[in-house]
Amino acid sequence: MLGKFLLPEVRELIASGDEETLREILNRWSPADVVELFDALSDEEDLAGIKMMSGPQRARVFEYLDRRSQKHLLGALPPESVRSLLNEIADDDRTAILEELSESEKERLLTLLSDEQRAIAESFLKFPENSVGRLMTPHVVAVLPQWTVQHVLDHIRQHGQDSETLNVVYIVDHNHRLIDDLRIRKILLAKPTQYLSEILDNNFVALKANDPKRDAVEVFRQYDRTALPVVDDDGKLLGVVTIDDVIDIAEESATADMQKLGGLEALNEPYDSTPLLTMIRKRAVWLVVLFLGEMLTATAMGFFEVEIEKAVVLALFVPLIISSGGNSGSQAATLIVRALALGEVRLRDWFMVFRREVLSGLALGCTLGLIGFSRIALWTTFTDIYGPHWFLVGLTVGISLVGIVLWGTLAGAMLPFLLKRLGLDPATSSAPLVATLVDVTGLIIYFSVAILILRGTLL
Amino acid sequence: MLGKFLLPEVRELIASGDEETLREILNRWSPADVVELFDALSDEEDLAGIKMMSGPQRARVFEYLDRRSQKHLLGALPPESVRSLLNEIADDDRTAILEELSESEKERLLTLLSDEQRAIAESFLKFPENSVGRLMTPHVVAVLPQWTVQHVLDHIRQHGQDSETLNVVYIVDHNHRLIDDLRIRKILLAKPTQYLSEILDNNFVALKANDPKRDAVEVFRQYDRTALPVVDDDGKLLGVVTIDDVIDIAEESATADMQKLGGLEALNEPYDSTPLLTMIRKRAVWLVVLFLGEMLTATAMGFFEVEIEKAVVLALFVPLIISSGGNSGSQAATLIVRALALGEVRLRDWFMVFRREVLSGLALGCTLGLIGFSRIALWTTFTDIYGPHWFLVGLTVGISLVGIVLWGTLAGAMLPFLLKRLGLDPATSSAPLVATLVDVTGLIIYFSVAILILRGTLL
């Protein structure tokens, strides 16, 4: 909050060359505020600012920066500063940066680390990409059940400095196998002379290092924790994952789902740092698939070429009709994909959804059908573009709309269930995919209704 | 995790009437596990289970239940149990439930509360809907700066029981004005004899009770905290908001954005608990707006009626052409809306985006144009549906596709910026809205290209 308000004052300090005050500000402000200030300054000014900071403050600020700025600084700072920076930042942040660098750049940075830090960094990079192991830090407070509360408090005071979180304390046996996790609240509320074995309940939830990141979000959401322990296959405590990392993953998942709903492959990187060619490729794949599917509309239209030749007026409403089916399908698909993602609706609820969507589709279809008919009736009062059979044309458009909106709604609502049932990602049922599916059938519905109603008059 | 695995065993216990073991399971499991079990059981079984629990366990389990189950239990439990339940659950959870009930039901429940709890509940309901005030709990550990660390630890041990979180301690002056917040880590790492005034840095971030909930997400994301203090306009400490509530709000925001992108008003309630009529209304509004906009396609098509009469073959490609514009626009809009929401791209970056999207649009348009032309050339080898001028028709389709995909991409990418610039919600630029905008112009582009290329032959 501070960063934005004081920008003019800071610019003035830079202009007047008052380095001492600047240095004090940069070292005293909270890292988040400094980053907000950095966002408003140029890359060169950021670099100068970073150089003015003390080691720990520099590391905290660095952790808050976006990936692009981090990479820029790692490239621009002298090797000595990069070394101390990398040694100082949190393990999970370091892993996250290293995994995104090129092999050669990664090698260069790894050689700058101290032996101990390099061993840690390399052990993390051994876990699969997108696994919980890449998110964790090994620095936790692990204590034995036969300790007293006072012993734990003394231990934390002496050895807790490096721990990523002190909100939870982990109880292990002599083989470092996890026995329980205790929120700090339980320790703080207990008598100092109590033994941990008296307050622990062996009731804990742990993540496996090889589990996918996305699972961690589910567990955090379900268990309202601020930190979760990570264990290996033998149940040995490896480290901890904190909730701040998990919020980022939840956002990433939502972004990926949105992008799939928008009809493209998930980028998995911020828009502005995705290479142009990668982005075009990820968009082209789906665009081409949809285009190939949509070609069936040309085939369907060709099938009704005779009817169009006889009554060109029918062609005029084709875009209106098929887009209404696509729009209603897009609404239904979005609702169901998100409801499935949040667990509001489960696979076995498909029939409940089906019934609701039949009613919604009918109501929405009748609304649009009525408006469509009225528009044709209204236009006829001052133009004769729809000819003498305007009433029948209006009827054709109105009735087709009811059918097409109902069909679009049901297709959009049921496709996510079908995909999930088949073990695929429901978010693949994007607005464009549903629209494409509905377009072809929409044309068939429209021209069939037209043939039924207009036979003997226009057709 | 436990809940799902042990379901058969629990069913057996219910069948055999072994109440004692059931009671023990229900009271010993973690609340999240019990809720998972409840999800798989019927409402009646849940009710029977809740009745077997001790007061505190019942309250914790209740807090984890979804709103629908909570309301059901409040209606089904005897008044005595409702009273003790409401008195026991966390303040923010109670506020959240009360604010969703009807006036009469709310009144009934408020009279069941103890005087103290009713006063708290009513004071929360005075804050505006969707404000930070509705999220908070007043139970925090507030201490004075002249206390020592040991004094704080003793104070927590005696009075911390009711506090929502012990991960942060709040320092106030004699007027209860907030001076600083200290993570418990700082207290635990300090010497017991140190005074708080020596370790505090007056550097804190607080939420205002009247601020909108959504702002809280931003602040949490920016400052990596697990809890934030809430103050009134005078800076007096009112309570605390914890991060578990904020994850829910972040999910709600993402849901609302997705639903807007899908072309409907945000539901603000889970799919299965939104009344059918409300849902139809929220979908109908946009569907009708889009339909009215899409009517312009009929006007545009009418404008080119003569051309269609002369060359019906042109009409065959109308759905294919306009849907390609819509799909590419939907991709671009989704990317930019999400990038703006996450702050990856800011208003002032519009030109960077514009340049990238010009290149993307051209590349994607050329890809589709080439495929479109090839399809017409290929079909011509075994049918004569496209007539003797198939080459010119193919050229018309191909060139139109380049123009329309480029235009769709740019419209989809720039509309969110325009909306944001006007102070509107960028997420309003839904896939269907962009498609509708692009459809009309797409038709004009297509028929203009056709007139240029086919004049003298087909037209």
User: Could you tell me the two tokens for B420?
Assistant: 């944001």
Q: What are the tens digits of pLDDT across the range A436-447?
A: 888 889 999 999
Q: Is pLDDT larger for residue B402 or for residue B338? A: B402
DSSP B277-293: HHHHHHHHHHHHHHHHH
- Give B346's DSSP letter: -
CB atoms < 10 A from the CB of B203, how many?
12
Which CATH superfamily does the domain covering B142-242 fall into? CBS-domain (3.10.580.10)
Residues 6+ apart with CB under 8 A from A276: B356, B359, B360
**Beta-carbon separation of A324 and B291 below 8 A:** yes
Bridge partners of residue A212, in order along the sequence: A131
For residue A271, give how far its alpha carbon lies from the nearest alpha carbon of chain B (Å).
6
Residue B431: HSE in the Cβ half-sphere, 13 Å Cα cutoff: 37
**ipTM, interface predicted TM-score of the complex:** 0.71
User: Could you tell me the two tokens for B291?
Assistant: 């339909």
Cβ-based contacts of A25 with chain B (< 8 Å): none
- A242, pLDDT greater than 70: yes
Residue B313: HSE in the Cβ half-sphere, 13 Å Cα cutoff: 19
Tell me what the mean pLDDT of segment B180-192 comes to. 91
C-alpha–C-alpha distance, residues A35 and A37, integer Å: 5
One-letter amino acid for residue A359 of the chain = L
Which CATH superfamily does the domain covering A2-126 fall into? MgtE N-terminal domain-like (1.25.60.10)
Q: Is there a contact between B354 and A313 (Cβ–Cβ < 8 Å)? A: no
Output the pLDDT for position B147: 95
**Beta-carbon separation of B443 and A167 below 8 A:** no
- B162, pLDDT greater than 90: no
- A4, pLDDT greater than 70: no
Output the pLDDT for position A231: 93
Output the pLDDT for position A163: 83
Q: A396 in helix, strand or coil?
A: helix
Say if A188 is an interface residue toward chain B (CB within 8 Å): yes
Burial class (CB in 10 A: 0-12, 13-18, 19+), A322: buried
Stretch(es) of chain B classified as CATH 3.10.580.10: 142-242
pLDDT band at B128 (very low <50, low <70, confident <90, very high): confident
Stretch(es) of chain A classified as CATH 1.10.357.20: 271-454
User: Could you tell me the two tokens for B132?
Assistant: 């930070």
CB atoms < 10 A from the CB of B55, how many?
12
Mutation target to probe the A interface, by most A beta carbons within 10 A, among B331, B356, B362, B458 is B331
User: Could you tell me the two tokens for A252?
Assistant: 């990433």
CB atoms < 10 A from the CB of A42, how many?
9
Tell me what the mean pLDDT of segment A48-57 comes to. 83
Cβ-based contacts of B275 with chain A (< 8 Å): none
pTM for the structure as a whole: 0.72
Q: Is there a contact between B90 and B63 (Cβ–Cβ < 8 Å)? A: yes
- B440, pLDDT greater than 80: yes
- B2, pLDDT greater than 70: no
pLDDT band at B399 (very low <50, low <70, confident <90, very high): very high
Say if A424 is an interface residue toward chain B (CB within 8 Å): no
One-letter amino acid for residue A426 of the chain = P
One-letter amino acid for residue B72 of the chain = H
C-alpha–C-alpha distance, residues A4 and A37, integer Å: 6
C-alpha–C-alpha distance, residues A280 and A287, integer Å: 10
Q: Which of residues 135-174 of A touch B (CB under 8 A)?
A: 153, 156-157, 160-161, 163, 165-167
Sole residue written with tokens 């930190």: A227
For residue B236, give how far its alpha carbon lies from the nearest alpha carbon of chain A (Å).
19
Output the pLDDT for position B156: 92
- B3, pLDDT greater than 60: no
pLDDT band at B177 (very low <50, low <70, confident <90, very high): very high
- B172, pLDDT greater than 90: yes
Stretch(es) of chain A classified as CATH 1.25.60.10: 2-126
Chain A, chain B: beta-carbon pairs less than 8 Å apart: 371
Q: What are the tens digits of pLDDT across the range A155-178?
A: 999 988 888 788 899 999 999 999
The minimal CB distance from B295 to the residues A320, A333, A339 is found for A320
Of all residues in chain A, the one with the smallest CA distance to B409 is A283
Q: Which range, A16-25, B406-415, B416-425, is most confident? A: B406-415
Output the pLDDT for position A208: 92
Tell me what the mean pLDDT of segment A186-208 comes to. 90
| Helix, strand, coil content of chain A in percent (nearest 5) | 70, 5, 25
Say if A40 is an interface residue toward chain B (CB within 8 Å): no
**Beta-carbon separation of A276 and B359 below 8 A:** yes
Sole residue written with tokens 């009344």: B275
**Beta-carbon separation of A327 and B435 below 8 A:** yes
Output the pLDDT for position A369: 94
User: Could you tell me the two tokens for A255?
Assistant: 């972004």
Output the pLDDT for position A179: 92
Tell me what the mean pLDDT of segment A298-307 comes to. 88
For residue A177, give how far its alpha carbon lies from the nearest alpha carbon of chain B (Å).
20
Taken in order B71, B72, B75, B79, is the CA torsion positive or negative? negative
A58: nearest Cα among A92, A31, A24: A31
Q: Which of residues 78-107 of A touch B (CB under 8 A)?
A: none
Output the pLDDT for position A171: 94
Q: Is there a contact between B50 and B61 (Cβ–Cβ < 8 Å)? A: yes
Q: A459 in helix, strand or coil?
A: coil
- A42, pLDDT greater than 70: yes
Output the pLDDT for position B370: 94
**Beta-carbon separation of A156 and B298 below 8 A:** no
C-alpha–C-alpha distance, residues B169 and B176, integer Å: 13
Q: What are the tens digits of pLDDT across the range A141-155?
A: 999 999 999 999 999
Output the pLDDT for position A459: 76
Bridge partners of residue B171, in order along the sequence: B143, B180
- B133, pLDDT greater than 60: yes
C-alpha–C-alpha distance, residues B395 and B449, integer Å: 9
**Beta-carbon separation of A263 and B323 below 8 A:** no
A68: nearest Cα among B335, B414, B353, B345: B345
A421-430 contacts: CB < 8 A, separation 24 or more? A421/A347, A425/A260, A426/A336, A426/A337, A426/A340, A426/A341, A427/A256, A427/A257, A427/A260, A427/A261, A427/A337, A427/A341, A428/A260, A429/A333, A429/A336, A429/A337, A430/A260, A430/A261, A430/A262, A430/A263, A430/A286, A430/A333, A430/B330
Residue A238: HSE in the Cβ half-sphere, 13 Å Cα cutoff: 23
Cβ-based contacts of A279 with chain B (< 8 Å): 356, 360
Say if B331 is an interface residue toward chain A (CB within 8 Å): yes
Q: Which CATH class is domain B271-454?
A: mainly alpha
Residues 6+ apart with CB under 8 A from B56: B88
C-alpha–C-alpha distance, residues B338 and B353, integer Å: 13
Q: Is pLDDT larger for residue A109 or for residue B150? A: B150
Output the pLDDT for position A2: 55
